[in-house]
Structure 1
Amino acid sequence: MLTLPITEVPKDPNRSTQNAVSPFRYPGGKGFLSAFLKRRMSLLDTSAERVFAEPFCGGAGAALILLADGDADVVRLNDADLRIFSAWQAILDEPERFVAKLREVRLDMPEWYHHRDLVAGFSDREYDFDIGFSTFYMNRTTRSGIILNAGPIGGYDQRGKWKLNARFNVERLANQVLWLAANRARIELSNMDALSFIDRGRRRADSGNTMFFIDPPYVKAGGRLYFDGMSEAKHVALSDILTSGSVKYWVLTYDDAPLVRQLYKSQNCSTISVNYSLQSKRRESEILVEPNYR
């Protein structure tokens, strides 16, 4: 396999896992790319509203850092899964209720099973506060933040070194929720198919001053890590949009799969090192793709 150049990702001196803006946690989350993305945001016109858009927002770690640090004026967060969307909408539109739930919820195995069963059995098509909170609860209490298909922190018998409360600092999470609520006017939230979101975004009047940050489900392990994986046809359709030239500014991250290399061979491709902690802390290479601006 062809060796790609390595992109050395600069560290953001003002950000770490201890002062993250997003209340969510995700394996392979892209908040660490914030300094790199800030440089790319400098391509946008500062005299107009600078928009940062995430079609697969998940925990939106990068978007919220850019918003907090003044490198984006508006962030557009989209997630096709209604459970993730419900978690975001609950936080953004019912923050006092959400914080009250954070402060009263139990951190024990009967409670964990309750929220797991709610999330696993959800099949509605409308926003649901309780499902949103349960989704968030699972994100904070499962190993690596994988909402389903992962066990609880500390194990089912809670005999591990860390317990369910290890990643559930109530006051810190409450402060993050309240900050998001205070900045609600600058956060747009949607529950669309990601390709439809990009298509709509490229047709908007401000498309020329929008940076799309696209972090799709992995080709190799998407079904395990995400509620909604992507078929090969969807991966191809995404590449068709991005390589058409109709989206002016974009950054794409993917797992290093042959399909990805083939689809984006005409673009600027490099590798980046990403930190994971699914079983144990480790770093793996992903592909970073950008358009040919020259």
Structure 2
Amino acid sequence: MKNQMTLFDIGEASNTQSIINVASVPQRSPFRYPGGKTWLVPTVRQWLKQENRTVDELLEPFAGGGIVSLTAAFEKLADKITMVELDEEVAAVWEVILNGSNKWLADKIYTYDLTHANVKAELENPNKELRDIAFCTILKNRVFHGGILAKGSGMIKNGEKGKGITSRWYPKTLRDRILAIGYVKDKIEFLKGDAFHVLEQNLDNGNAYFFIDPPYTIAGKRLYTHYNIDHENLFRLTSLLKGKYMLTYDDTPEIRHLADKYNLQYRTIPMKTTLHYEKNEIIISDNFSWWREIDRR
């Protein structure tokens, strides 16, 4: 029986943590990803360094914006990194950056004339190759409300200081990030596929670290195309992993119940949403010997 924290203990543990200042974390991803984990990077570093050696393999089965995989690659925290993403649009970006034309994408973004008319024409073009899908994904991620790619999202109207769709369009920054990834991409394998299949195939991979960040139960439907996942099956698979893992979730009674059901250890950690609303999230791990207070300024 794994050591399960009580509700009182969880609250007590969370009081030793403070909200991370994301400005203190290197921004590696080309995405402004809803539900992204930049704020969690200092904690992830602790987790990856728990054995005081470079991790043999890191698997991120719900890659999304990929900040954990990119941090591990740039900071040499893992020898091999596997990113997995099912969403066609998000996957196209990673396929182009990691497996193909990252310079083309960087140059296209840098030289693009961002106007409503051009964006409309780009998005409505019916004859898209993979790299065109990748560019349109970055475009939507930067000019749509909250960076949301799911159906129903639309373009920013006013934006910051009335800048409209240019509010989050930083062509030089995006170009530089994409080109920088080119220097570490040999460490990263990208797979367009289903997270559950990858986890099932790696249940006995005792040398791997698994960073598992699925669509959450509450916000997932609003934020993601593939939001409807079997949360209980994910907990079941996680409980069977031979390697080390970190599973992140929203702090809800349903998630606490599943953690208890599958005898998984967890802690709470504070974060601040893009609307500056403070809340707790849950970190589930095979052990917490690595968990300690960190400077989160």
Fold agreement, TM-score > 0.5: yes
Structure 1 match to 2:256 = 261
TM-score (norm 1): 0.83
Q: Residues 288, 140 of structure 1: CA spacing in aligned structure 2 closer, same or farther, 3 A cutoff?
A: same
CA distance in 1, matches of 2:182, 2:56: 20
- Aligned CA-pair RMSD: 2.9
Deviates more, 1:283-292 or 1:220-229: 283-292
C-alpha change, 1:17 and 1:151, in structure 2 (3 Å) is farther
Aligned match of 1:222: 220
DSSP-derived class of the 1:247 partner: coil
Alpha-carbon offset, residue 179 of structure 1: 1.2
Which residue of the other structure, out of 270, 273, 282, is the alignment partner of 1:273? 270
Q: CA deviation at 1:225?
A: 0.6
Measured in 1, the distance between the counterparts of 2:273 and 2:179 equals 28
Cα deviations by residue, 1:223-254 (Å, 9 ceiling, x for unpaired): 211110124xx11111111113x332001111
| Cα separation, 1, equivalents of 2:17 and 2:64 | 21
- Contact 2:250 / 2:282 at 8 angstroms: preserved in 1? yes
1:197/1:83 Cα in 2 relative to 1: closer, same or farther (>3 Å)?
A: same
Tell me what 2:3 maps to. none
Indicate the residue corresponding to 1:194 in structure 2. 195
Percentage identity across aligned positions?
26
Point out 4+ residue stretches in structure 1 off by more than 6 angstroms.
10-13
Q: Distance in 1 between matches of 2:276 and 2:163?
A: 15
Task: Tell me, in whole angstroms, the C-alpha distance in 2 between the residues paired with 1:56 and 1:281.
Answer: 25
Structure 2 unaligned blocks of 5 or more: 1-5, 290-297
CA distance in 2 between counterparts of 1:11 and 1:283 reads 8
CA offsets per residue over residues 92-129 of structure 1, 9 Å max, x none? 220121122112323222233345556xx89x9xx822
Shift in Å, 1:79: 0.5
How far the C-alpha of 1:37 sits from its partner, in A, is 1.2
User: CA–CA distance in 2 between the matches of 1:222 and 1:12?
Assistant: 23
Deviation at 1:9, TM superposition (A): 5.1
CA distance in 1, matches of 2:200, 2:271: 28
Q: Is the 8 A contact 1:75 1:188 kept in 2?
A: yes
Cα deviation, residue 189, structure 1: 0.2
**Contact 2:267-2:284 at 8 Å conserved across structures:** yes
The verdict on how the C-alpha distance between 1:130 and 1:259 changes in structure 2, with shifts beyond 3 A counting, is same
Q: Supply the distance in 2 between the matched residues of 1:197 and 1:235 (Cα, whole angstroms).
A: 16
Contact 1:12 1:34 in 2 (8 A): no
TM-score (norm 2): 0.82
Q: Look up the match of 2:154.
A: 151
Unaligned runs of 5+ in 1: none
Structure 1 residue aligned with 2:95: 89
Q: Is the 8 A contact 2:20 2:271 kept in 1?
A: no
Q: Higher relative CO (CA 8 A, sep ≥ 6), structure 1 or 2?
A: 2
Structure 2 Cα separation of the partners of residues 189 and 159 of structure 1 = 34
**1: CA distance between counterparts of 2:25 and 2:40?**
16
Distance 2:25 2:113 in 1: 23
Cα distance, 1:11 vs. partner? 8.0
